[in-house]
Structure 1
Amino acid sequence: MFYQLYELNHAAVQPFRAYADAMRLLYSNPLNPVSHTPFGRTVAAAAELFERTTRRYGKPEFGREKTVVDWKTVAVKERVVWSRSFCNLIRFERDLPAGRRPDPKLLIVAPMSGHYATLLRGTVEAMLPHADVYITDWVDARMVPVGEGRFDLDDYIDYIIDMFHELGPDTHVMAVCQPSVPVLAAVALMEARGDRSAPSTMTLMGGPIDTRRNPTAVNLLAEEKGMAWFRDNVIMQVPWPEPGFTRDVYPGFLQLSGFMSMNLDRHITAHKEFFMHLVKNDGDGADKHRDFYDEYLAVMDLTAEFYLQTVDTVFIRHALPKGEMMHRRAAVDPKAIRNTALLTIEGENDDISGLGQTEAAHDLCVNIPADRRVHYVQPAVGHYGVFNGSRFRAEIVPRIVDFIASYGRAPAARPKVGKAAKG
């Protein structure tokens, strides 16, 4: 009933939200003399703040229409190249000159943890000048009819393997946060089978490979509560009239509430500053706030079976680092990985995946030669800064680009990183 009450509350507030939006338009209209006064700007700011904090944010757009390649601006077009019920694989096609040597294929596996893949818009933008970029665009579970079937962690791994087959040999993969575990599992399964489509390189960024290391509040919550608590308290049915009516899901608004509560004071301060920017007519500061929260507050539901299996496998049983993880009836053995080069990246101040949790992949993938394994810790960034922001663009992207160029199977540059290193 909680999901239904949430929807009812959202509908009940709709008239007040419409009224607030009308007030915002009235008191921000330059033809209204009051809009040029502190009083008018204050009314408009209060109205916009109310409307934004009670709004349901829809799925954002990637909006990547151009990029710079070889110091020239080229057009970019999004195209779905692979599709299943719960995911679309998007390729960002660049309008490159005919005959130009192709760039490496890079599959970015976006997290399926409550936010849309557009959360990695900055990641895509930073990699477009250097690679032929593909990204997993996960579908909101409440938009998938029950007749389309279930989707769990095993299906997630199958999807990734199918994508590798779709893209073919000499593909490079980047897993951001949550998908680090299923991507590592998929590569291990493929290498164990001698699959030629296994990726050339695997970059894991801020992922929960072994959450026993430096456990964060998120990790401790999972261990303290146990599976029964999650099943009884956070799993709900999609209400009517959504397409996924009666599907059991972990609602996105619950995930968002959990994330915001971890840094509630920071979010309150950000909204207070947003209000003051509007009153002072500081358009740049207000626009930055809108851009960030338009993305951050847009959330999606996860299927119950995927969420519960992930919590149990990754955060409670620690199945992968213990050597107990299974994919259907096959054991997931990271020691089977021998040919795929491994790069792990962590943020010094990450409060979602603690330091050492991603680096643990090196202790599991013992048969990858030492000169094909690299670990880097980015100073002065948190979880978000591992895959977005100025330090990501200036300090992390060059390392990823160099790593991909060094260890691709195509006849390109030979390894530039001579040995495993810690940043």
Structure 2
Amino acid sequence: MIYQAYQLLADLMAPLQAATDAASCTASPMPASGPHFAREWCALLEWSALVRLRHERPPFGIHAAWIDGGSVAVSEEVALATPFCSLLHFRRDIAPGQPRVLLIAPLAGHFASLLRATAATMLADHDVYLTDWRNARDIPLCCGPFGFDDFVAQLIGLLRFLGPGTHVVAVCQPTVATLAAVALMAEDGDPALPRSMTLMAGPIDARVNPTRINELAVRTPLAWFEANLIDTVPARFAGARRRVYPGFVQVCAFLSMNLDRHIASLIHAYQYKLDGETAKAEAIRAFYTDYFATMDLPAEFYLETVSRVFQQHVLPRACLTVAGRRVDLRAIRRTALLTIEGENDDICAVGQTEAAQELCSKLRPNLKSHYVQTGVGHYGVFAGRRWATQVYPLLRKVIHETEQRCVEAAQPVLDYGNARGRPPRPT
């Protein structure tokens, strides 16, 4: 009944929130030289409009990319729509030719817009597609369930749709499913096997340097998660009666882990607005607009992820099966691997993502790279200044070097004979 109680409270608060939003939109921006009481009022309105949960994806708002010293227009289009995911393409007004990248967003309580900065940065050098997962409460029951195996199958289907030559970048939770998908495709000799795979801040082996989240999952029976965290979607939504892990529960759990830091950050946003430091206030506002936008997860996907990834650790133990097939990471031999971690990550600790390096034991050393970004937490790995200036250049280098290797491998090999004067062999 937690969902019904929450929705009742949200409905009761809706008129007040609508009034606050309207007042915030109509209030004129107040310069630092304006009357103090007016600046306080404007700052309070914006703060009130920000601190609330929303259940629709915020717009990406990516309208241009800076490419080769000039601004290029960017438009969003849905390249492929499935019941649980839309494949978004950030189409740029330039001729194709740059590496094609599938950016896999987490299905973990936040919308894919959390990767706005990731996509915007990558557009300078890549043709970017992104998994825009749908809110489970908006998906009718007739669309069926969606579990961990379905997630892996979805990724394989998207890679096949994009075709050969794609590079895949997975952020946080989907790194496990991505690794499984690539291994199955490699074993099948699938022509759509990605050329490179970047795994960022993901729980490949959650036994390494366990965080508070990992410890909670290990010591808590799965039945507790199902009894206390799973609920049904209220009747007013398209996904009525679907069993879900409500997004607001996930966000509240994350907030509680660092409550003091979040409160301080929101207070700073208010003070920056009051002092006329617009850029600093906007940076915080943009982050929390995405952070407070919550989506529900299908119950089967959430519970299977908790069980397989955080309790049984089936991937690093070589016990993971998908649709009855055992996942063998040794099958990965041609897809370049880059793993990236944040030094201060309290969600996926250092070493958990790096574990993929050893698990892909048949991959040549020259196709493996690992990087730890100093001074950042979980979100700093894929957003913010250090992402743009330190992490991204390395990711771009790996992708473009992989592209170059593929081009060179496609060239005909010439045999100029030997010292005995044999004629060269035809190619």
Q: TM-score, normalised by structure 2?
A: 0.91
Q: Which residue of 2 aligns with 1:315?
A: 310
TM-aligned CA distance change 1:62 to 1:395, over 3 Å:
same
1:277 aligns to 2:287 (yes or no): no
* CA-atom RMSD in angstroms: 2.0
State which of 91, 105, 117 in structure 2 corresponds to 1:110: 105
SS of the equivalent of 1:268 reads helix
Structure 1 vs Structure 2: percent identity of aligned residues?
A: 45
1:266 aligns to 2:264 (yes or no): no
**Cα-to-partner distance string for 1:288-315 (whole Å, 9 max, x where unaligned):** 2221111111111000000000110000
In the alignment, structure 2 segments of 5+ residues that lack a partner are 411-427
Superposition deviation, residue 64 in structure 1: 1.4
1:65 and 1:76 in contact (8 A); partners too: yes
Q: Which residue of 2 aligns with 1:418?
A: none
SS of the equivalent of 2:219 reads helix
In the alignment, structure 1 segments of 5+ residues that lack a partner are 415-423
Superposition deviation, residue 194 in structure 1: 1.4
Aligned counterparts, 1:161-240, within 5 A: 161-240=156-235
Q: Which residue of 1 aligns with 2:81?
A: 83
Q: Which residue of 2 aligns with 1:17?
A: 17
**Cα-to-partner distance string for 1:80-138 (whole Å, 9 max, x where unaligned):** 111210001111111114xx7x1111111111111111111111111111111111110
Once residues 262 and 124 of structure 2 are traced to their aligned partners in structure 1, the CA distance between those partners, rounded to angstroms, is 33
2:196 and 2:399 in contact (8 A); partners too: yes
Q: Which residue of 1 aligns with 2:116?
A: 121
Once residues 344 and 409 of structure 2 are traced to their aligned partners in structure 1, the CA distance between those partners, rounded to angstroms, is 34
- Give the letter for the 1:182 counterpart: A
Once residues 350 and 143 of structure 1 are traced to their aligned partners in structure 2, the CA distance between those partners, rounded to angstroms, is 32
- Give the letter for the 1:73 counterpart: S
Q: Which moved more, 1:163-172 or 1:135-144?
A: 163-172
1:57 and 1:294 in contact (8 A); partners too: no
SS of the equivalent of 1:129 reads coil
2:73 and 2:93 in contact (8 A); partners too: yes
- Give the letter for the 1:90 counterpart: L
TM-aligned CA distance change 1:20 to 1:162, over 3 Å:
closer
Once residues 347 and 289 of structure 1 are traced to their aligned partners in structure 2, the CA distance between those partners, rounded to angstroms, is 20
**Cα-to-partner distance string for 1:126-151 (whole Å, 9 max, x where unaligned):** 11111111111101000101111110
Once residues 291 and 41 of structure 1 are traced to their aligned partners in structure 2, the CA distance between those partners, rounded to angstroms, is 20
TM-aligned CA distance change 1:48 to 1:388, over 3 Å:
closer
TM-aligned CA distance change 1:19 to 1:341, over 3 Å:
closer
SS of the equivalent of 1:371 reads helix
Superposition deviation, residue 350 in structure 1: 0.7
Once residues 208 and 387 of structure 1 are traced to their aligned partners in structure 2, the CA distance between those partners, rounded to angstroms, is 15
- Give the letter for the 1:45 counterpart: A
Q: Which residue of 2 aligns with 1:245?
A: 240
Once residues 342 and 121 of structure 2 are traced to their aligned partners in structure 1, the CA distance between those partners, rounded to angstroms, is 18
1:4 aligns to 2:25 (yes or no): no
Matched length: 407
Once residues 350 and 389 of structure 1 are traced to their aligned partners in structure 2, the CA distance between those partners, rounded to angstroms, is 14
Superposition deviation, residue 79 in structure 1: 1.6
State which of 334, 349, 353 in structure 1 corresponds to 2:348: 353
TM-aligned CA distance change 1:122 to 1:51, over 3 Å:
closer
SS of the equivalent of 1:411 reads helix
Q: Which moved more, 1:125-134 or 1:318-327?
A: 125-134
Once residues 84 and 251 of structure 2 are traced to their aligned partners in structure 1, the CA distance between those partners, rounded to angstroms, is 20
**Cα-to-partner distance string for 1:368-414 (whole Å, 9 max, x where unaligned):** 01111111111111110111111111111111111111123641699
- Give the letter for the 1:89 counterpart: L
**Cα-to-partner distance string for 1:310-366 (whole Å, 9 max, x where unaligned):** 110000000000011000110011011111111111111111101100000011100
TM-aligned CA distance change 1:169 to 1:74, over 3 Å:
same
Once residues 20 and 77 of structure 1 are traced to their aligned partners in structure 2, the CA distance between those partners, rounded to angstroms, is 31
Superposition deviation, residue 176 in structure 1: 0.5
Superposition deviation, residue 45 in structure 1: 3.4
Q: Which residue of 1 aligns with 2:132?
A: 137
- Give the letter for the 1:14 counterpart: A
SS of the equivalent of 1:319 reads coil
Once residues 368 and 276 of structure 2 are traced to their aligned partners in structure 1, the CA distance between those partners, rounded to angstroms, is 50
Once residues 255 and 3 of structure 1 are traced to their aligned partners in structure 2, the CA distance between those partners, rounded to angstroms, is 13
